[in-house]
A and B are shown apart, each in its own frame.
Chain A
Amino acid sequence: MHHHLILRVVTKMLVGTIILFAFYVQFHGDFSPGGGFQAGVIMAVAFIIYGIVFGLQKAKQVFPEWLVHKLVALGVLIYAATGVASLLLGYNFLDYGAFNPGHPIYGQHWGIFAVELGVGITVTGVMVAIYYAFAGRPPPMKDEDW
């Protein structure tokens, strides 16, 4: 896509904003609509739009495939590890009171933070990995045939 000058310029300006918005949705999900699922999707969209406009190879340089595959598993591990950690501290599985026994409400906040982070990482990883898998397939027809 070398000829779409406007698309390329606008995308360059937008990608950073989209990533920033994803972080806002991720970490402000306690107070406004949002959370790990939405933030993960928005974060993935930033990389997908980069891949669409600048080509798959460029996107893979920015966000390499091996890292994406690691992130897919890392998020679920963070989520499960939060549960196991509360188990080891003598509480129920995923009982976030464990993380601050003197003040269970703060413990809840830490637990929700960790769990939402895990969800966000997995969703980002899965969505980008799926996009890479679809876009990396050799197409049966050329761009000009559309």
Chain B
Amino acid sequence: MIDTLIDLILFAMLVFTALAIVRINHLFAVVMLSGVFSLLSALLLVTLDAVDVAFTEAAVGAGISTVLMLGTIALTARTQKKSSRSGLVPFIVVTVTGAVLVYGTLDMPDFGDPNAPAQLHVAPEYMAGSIEDIDVPNVVTSILASYRGYDTLGETAVVFTAGIGVLMLLSGLGRRRREDEEEEEDV
């Protein structure tokens, strides 16, 4: 009962934060509210037993992503221009998409059902194997680094690639080389 109550309160706060982000035109406030949204979602993730994920979301969403967005609006603009388009068409699109998604959830097992298909395969093997094969108490770590090591290698490579992309776009490594070449041509 108390779980449901906490869930509903957190949800209400999340929805109001999201609606405020829709309404506000001042980008500084929007960025701060997106940090608030991340922090609230981290709280909700704790009630869903995903402590590792909540930890990451709090550090990444409320920390680094807010800093980067502030850096961006410092380099671009601080307010959003009032849009001349009407919000009606997007609203209809969003409502229809949402209705289709809700229709899709009707076949899903109940929230927290221990006999749901997601709970019956693979995961019990990992839970048991984490004791016998790996002997690591945090099952998330043993799956992340050992059972699904391939995935994590790929994801590290994605982070690496995104970092290289940002460096190419912003730090001017490419431009410096081009300017050097142009200078050589001038000489």
Contact = CB atoms under 8 A, between A and B. Distances in A.
**Direct A/B contact, Cβ within 8 angstroms:** yes
Interface of A: 29-38, 41-42, 44-45, 48, 52, 69, 72-73, 75-76, 79-80, 83, 93-94, 96, 104-105, 108-109, 111-112, 115-116, 118-119, 122-123, 125-127, 129-137, 139-141, 146
B141 A73 contact: no
Contacts of B159: 122-123, 126
Contact of A35 (B52, B71, B76): B52
Contacts of B78: 146
A83 B169 CA distance: 31
A75 B149 contact: no
Interface string B130-160: 0001111110111011100110110011011
A41 B170 contact: no
Nearest to A125: B163
A111 B141 CA distance: 12
Contacts of A69: 167
A35 B141 contact: yes
Contact of A52 (B67, B152, B167): B67
Interface of B is mostly: helix
* B interface, size bucket: 35 or more
Main secondary structure of the interface of A (DSSP, over half): helix
B133 A108 contact: yes
B84 interface: no
Contacts of B105: none
B149 A115 contact: yes
B141 A41 contact: no
A112 B145 contact: yes
A35 B67 CA distance: 22
Contacts of B51: 33
Contacts of A73: 160
B141 A30 contact: yes
B55 to A, nearest CB: 5
B128 to A, nearest CB: 14
Given A79-B156, A94-B149, 4 more contacts: A30-B136, A111-B146, A123-B159, A130-B163
A33 B136 CA distance: 12
